[in-house]
């Protein structure tokens, strides 16, 4: 992609109406544009990051036999009445129609997925089932000041699984928890999982996946020694206490909930009368689980976790491009751009007629992992700079190609 053609621009100053670092940098670098508090448009650079995050999630959900669907976002009131959500869920957006009817905008999709899966599952041979989507959610959030980390509309991966019995659910629950850690690791994030009560859903156990960042809205206690972690909100312990699992000591930190998994028990299957025939022909209620990940929130968390005073520092797995190419001092980078693009390297080529200072500042702001400078000063070699460490090396073209395609 040529930067001169890219549908976005950069800003030197942080927008005055953004408090969070993620929104300040994402707006400045041209990844997102704010429509109103809690609602953003994603520009080409931002879309590329979202797609990379989505694809990591998609691969790991497919690997645990999840099947991708896209469910409706506009729901009839009747479905939400049936589960009690219409009157109990404060963040539910309710939309009146000119016909006098009312609708809900999906804030989560149990109300749609349960009747949907029910139509496909007749007997025990049809179980287990796991379907997921990566789709927009709408929530009437009171506080939307954390940039893309808390939107009134946001992209979520939500998976729902249905099982013949608790044992099969428990087996699958463990598999998905492992997949979640893999997803965060692949993005360069370290998540801790807290055990919590299921909240409004059931009395069953749920797990929240927390990434440490001061921009988060959760306080957690975690063991310095083992993987014990708990949300302060529900904990009877406090900082400095001994870990209940090992000999370690508990520390406290602020974190953002990047995902969670819930054992929903039989709440929704009961609401919709979802039964299946067991091997003896008796009617049984399945066990249901749900598994969320905040895709747009993760984009914000990634920026909060990885930036410096010059801009964003993307982890290579979710960066919008692999390399940011600049020609300086009359150096012509066009042939290298053509060559790398042909080899399948994702290159953002700054072909604008701008000063070196501005082009390099924009490269730092946008935060692509590898910066390439072509300049007569480099005597035929290319200056390759790592955005994260700032380390530079001069490589000839062959070595550069090997470096980028390794």
Binding residues for ligand ATP, rule: CB under 6 A, are 108, 139, 141, 150-151, 154, 156, 257-260, 292, 294, 296-297
Distance of closest approach, residue 46 Cβ to ligand ATP, in angstroms: 14
Distance of closest approach, residue 260 Cβ to ligand ATP, in angstroms: 5
| Closer of 53 and 336 to ligand ATP (Cβ) | 53
Burial of 388 (0-12, 13-18, 19+ CB in 10 A): middle
| Closer of 193 and 260 to ligand ATP (Cβ) | 260
Cβ-closest position to ligand ATP: 294
Burial of 88 (0-12, 13-18, 19+ CB in 10 A): exposed
Distance of closest approach, residue 272 Cβ to ligand ATP, in angstroms: 20
| Closer of 157 and 387 to ligand ATP (Cβ) | 157
DSSP, collapsed to helix, strand or coil, labels residue 359 as: helix
| Closer of 71 and 399 to ligand ATP (Cβ) | 71
| Closer of 186 and 381 to ligand ATP (Cβ) | 186
| Closer of 154 and 268 to ligand ATP (Cβ) | 154
- Interacting residues of 121 by C-beta distance below 8 A, sequence separation 6+: 127, 129, 162, 274, 276, 286
Contact 257, 218 (CB under 8 A): yes
- Interacting residues of 390 by C-beta distance below 8 A, sequence separation 6+: none
Distance of closest approach, residue 384 Cβ to ligand ATP, in angstroms: 35
Distance of closest approach, residue 156 Cβ to ligand ATP, in angstroms: 5
95 token code pair: 């939309």
Distance of closest approach, residue 144 Cβ to ligand ATP, in angstroms: 7
DSSP, collapsed to helix, strand or coil, labels residue 283 as: strand
| Closer of 258 and 373 to ligand ATP (Cβ) | 258
Instruction: Give dist(CA 21, CA 311) in Å, integer.
Output: 10
Sign, CA torsion 249/192/202/172 = negative
| Closer of 257 and 271 to ligand ATP (Cβ) | 257
Instruction: Give dist(CA 91, CA 200) in Å, integer.
Output: 13
Instruction: Give dist(CA 93, CA 18) in Å, integer.
Output: 24
Distance of closest approach, residue 22 Cβ to ligand ATP, in angstroms: 11
- Considering only the C-alpha atoms of the chain, give the largest distance between any 2 of them, rounded to a whole number of Å: 81
Distance of closest approach, residue 281 Cβ to ligand ATP, in angstroms: 37
Instruction: Give dist(CA 257, CA 216) in Å, integer.
Output: 7
| Closer of 182 and 381 to ligand ATP (Cβ) | 182
Contact 287, 113 (CB under 8 A): no
Instruction: Give dist(CA 131, CA 62) in Å, integer.
Output: 10
Distance of closest approach, residue 258 Cβ to ligand ATP, in angstroms: 5
Q: What's the chain's Rg over C-alpha atoms?
A: 24
Contact 315, 375 (CB under 8 A): no
What residues does 260 pair with on adjacent strands? Answer: 208, 292
């Amino acid at each position: 992609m040529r930067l001169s053609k890219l549908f976005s621009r950069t800003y030197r100053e942080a927008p005055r109406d953004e408090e969070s670092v993620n929104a300040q940098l994402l707006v400045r670098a041209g990844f997102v544009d704010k429509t109103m508090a809690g609602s953003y448009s994603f520009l080409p650079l931002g879309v590329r990051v979202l797609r990379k995050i989505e694809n990591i999630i998609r691969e790991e959900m497919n690997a645990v036999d999840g099947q991708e669907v896209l469910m409706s976002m506009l729901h009839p009131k009747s479905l939400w009445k049936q589960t009690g959500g219409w009157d109990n869920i404060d963040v539910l957006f309710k939309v009146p129609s000119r016909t006098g009817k009312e609708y809900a905008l999906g804030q989560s999709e149990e109300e749609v997925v349960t009747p949907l899966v029910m139509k496909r599952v007749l007997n025990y041979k049809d179980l287990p089932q796991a379907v997921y989507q990566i789709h927009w959610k709408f929530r009437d959030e009171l506080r939307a000041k954390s940039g893309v980390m808390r939107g009134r509309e946001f992209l979520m991966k939500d998976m729902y699984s249905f099982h013949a019995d608790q044992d099969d659910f428990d087996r699958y629950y463990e598999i998905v928890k492992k997949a979640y850690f893999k997803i965060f690791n692949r993005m360069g994030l370290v998540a801790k999982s807290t055990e919590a009560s299921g909240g409004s859903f059931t009395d069953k156990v749920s797990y929240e996946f927390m990434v440490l960042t001061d921009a988060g809205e959760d306080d957690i206690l975690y063991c310095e020694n083992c993987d014990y972690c708990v949300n302060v909100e529900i904990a009877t312990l406090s900082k400095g206490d001994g870990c209940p699992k090992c000999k370690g000591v508990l520390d406290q930190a602020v974190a953002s909930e990047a995902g969670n998994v819930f054992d929903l028990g039989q709440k929704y299957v009961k609401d919709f009368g979802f039964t299946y025939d067991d091997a003896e022909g008796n009617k049984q209620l399945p066990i249901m689980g749900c598994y969320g990940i905040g895709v747009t929130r993760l984009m914000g968390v990634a920026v909060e976790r990885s930036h410096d005073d010059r801009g964003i520092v993307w982890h290579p797995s979710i960066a919008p491009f692999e390399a940011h190419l600049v020609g300086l001092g009359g150096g012509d980078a066009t042939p290298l751009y053509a060559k790398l693009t042909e080899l399948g390297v994702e290159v953002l080529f700054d072909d604008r007629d701008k000063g070196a200072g501005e082009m390099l500042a924009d490269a730092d702001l946008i935060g692509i992992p590898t910066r390439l400078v072509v300049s007569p000063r480099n005597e035929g070699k290319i200056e390759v700079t790592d955005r994260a460490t700032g380390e530079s090396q001069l490589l000839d073209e062959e070595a550069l190609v090997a470096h980028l395609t390794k």
